[in-house]
Amino acid sequence: MNAFSMALSEDQQSVRDWLHGFARDVIRPAAAEWDEREETPWPIIQEAAKVGIYSLDFYAQQYFDPSGLGIPIAMEELFWGDAGIGLSIVGTTLAAVAVLANGTEEQVGTWVPQMFGTPDDVKVAAFCSSEPDAGSDVSALRTRAVYDEATDEWVINGTKTWATNGGIANVHVVVATVDPALGARGQASFVVPPGTKGLAQGQKFKKHGIRASHTAEVVLDGVRLPGHCLLGGKEKLDERLARARERAAGGGSSSRGKNAAMATFEASRPAVGAQAIGIARAAYEVALDYAKTRVQFGRPIIDNQGVAFTLADMRTRIDAARLLVWRASWMAANQQPFTAAEGSMSKLYAGETAKWVTAQAMQLLGGNGFTREYPVERMHRDSAIYTIFEGTSEIQRLVIARSISGIPIR
């Protein structure tokens, strides 16, 4: 049995340092510009592709790190650079995770490479789950997929919202209801190939934070997909639906349990927590440096206990959040079940930490922290989404409470 160790391997340290250098030298100098422009930073994504960061091979290597730490290390460093640009670089991975979580080996090999494109012709992908009337309540999805047996096609109609890369993606992964009577268990995921008729971008959102990341509605109007675009295949879907109907007929809940959207979110929550940690760490470092150099009443402000203790709390919460993320990531990589919703714990605490730490950083910088001359203002805006997307903090608490109690708390 291997001795317990929390030390990163040489390879992990090398990847971390490489990404940190890219974040420092390429992402950070461009962060304010793309935040103001509120546009997808295609030149930065292309630069990431040219050096091998934005690529299927890179994310596959990190995803299959046996320790589980490859992805969280990468996320933390990129988002330490900037959250908006970071999300533009990694947003494709959510769609890729959806295919990995729900698709066959053939589907993974077919669609995931098309999500990234090439360094000379970069592409992005979008995962489309939320709807105008269905965010946290995934059982309320109205987007409908109907099977046309005569042509072996699925016909999809509906509107998705809050889709990262929605409408500009080369490949869209869409969660749709195939049997409304089964609620969340009557859903499936579909790949919408490039150039499919009937898919269009709706409203593009102007956001409070992560403004360099494209977020928009996706409208599906009579979209017809070949049968092989159903992730997992129809035979597997039919078997799953049959089990759900038997359970519903026997009095069991048909709306609980795993479904296509939740399988994706379960796999991605620790990675999202790592993104939040990167933002928090960046804000903390700015505040620490400022406190050491800002002189008031004849001495650096860090000489005041109130300031020093706040910085101590900021660092402690960041390190605690990282440990929760690493634990959940290790558990997932080693196929340990989340018996106490450890994935949700990591995302909850990291998101709340990012929001609190960035607020404290702004406070420590005083008036300077409220201006765009200093990056903590942008970091604070960016952090706000981490208590909202991929499950609000309230939903994470609900998931945790249900897991530790065994009671279907509402």
pLDDT of 322 higher than 70 = yes
Task: Determine the pLDDT at residue 251.
Answer: 66
294 within 8 A of 307, measured Cβ to Cβ: no
Distance CA 370, CA 373 (A): 9
Give the tens place of pLDDT for each residue, 365-402.
999 999 999 999 999 999 999 999 988 999 999 999 99
Return the higher-pLDDT residue of 274 and 136.
274
Longest Cα–Cα distance in the chain = 82
Asked, colleague to colleague, whether 10-121 and 260-405 share their fold, the answer is no
pLDDT at position 256: 47
Confidence of residue 257 (pLDDT cuts 50, 70, 90): very low
Residues 219/202, Cβ–Cβ less than 8 Å: yes
Identify the CATH assignment for 260-405 out of 1.20.140.10, 1.10.3720.10, 3.30.300.30, 3.40.50.800: 1.20.140.10
Q: Which residues are known catalytic residues?
A: 390
Residue 263 pLDDT more than 80? no
Predicted TM-score (pTM) of the model is: 0.93
CA distances from 137 to 225, 390, 398 (A): 26, 12, 12
> Which structure tokens are listed for 291?
């406190």
Cβ atoms of 338 and 403 within 8 Å: the answer is yes
* CATH 1.10.10.10 corresponds to the domain 10-121: no
Buried b (16+ CB within 10 A) or exposed e, 169-178: bbbbbbbbbb
**Phi, psi at 343, each rounded to 5°:** -65, -45
Which numeric CATH code is attached to 125-249?
2.40.110.10
Spell out the domain ranges in the chain: 10-121, 125-249, 260-405
Q: Roughly what angle, to the nearest 10 degrees, separates helices 376-383 and 83-90?
A: 50
Sign of the Cα pseudo-torsion (62, 64, 65, 67, in order): positive
Residue 307 pLDDT greater than 90, yes or no: yes
Q: Are 284 and 361 in contact (CB under 8 A)?
A: yes
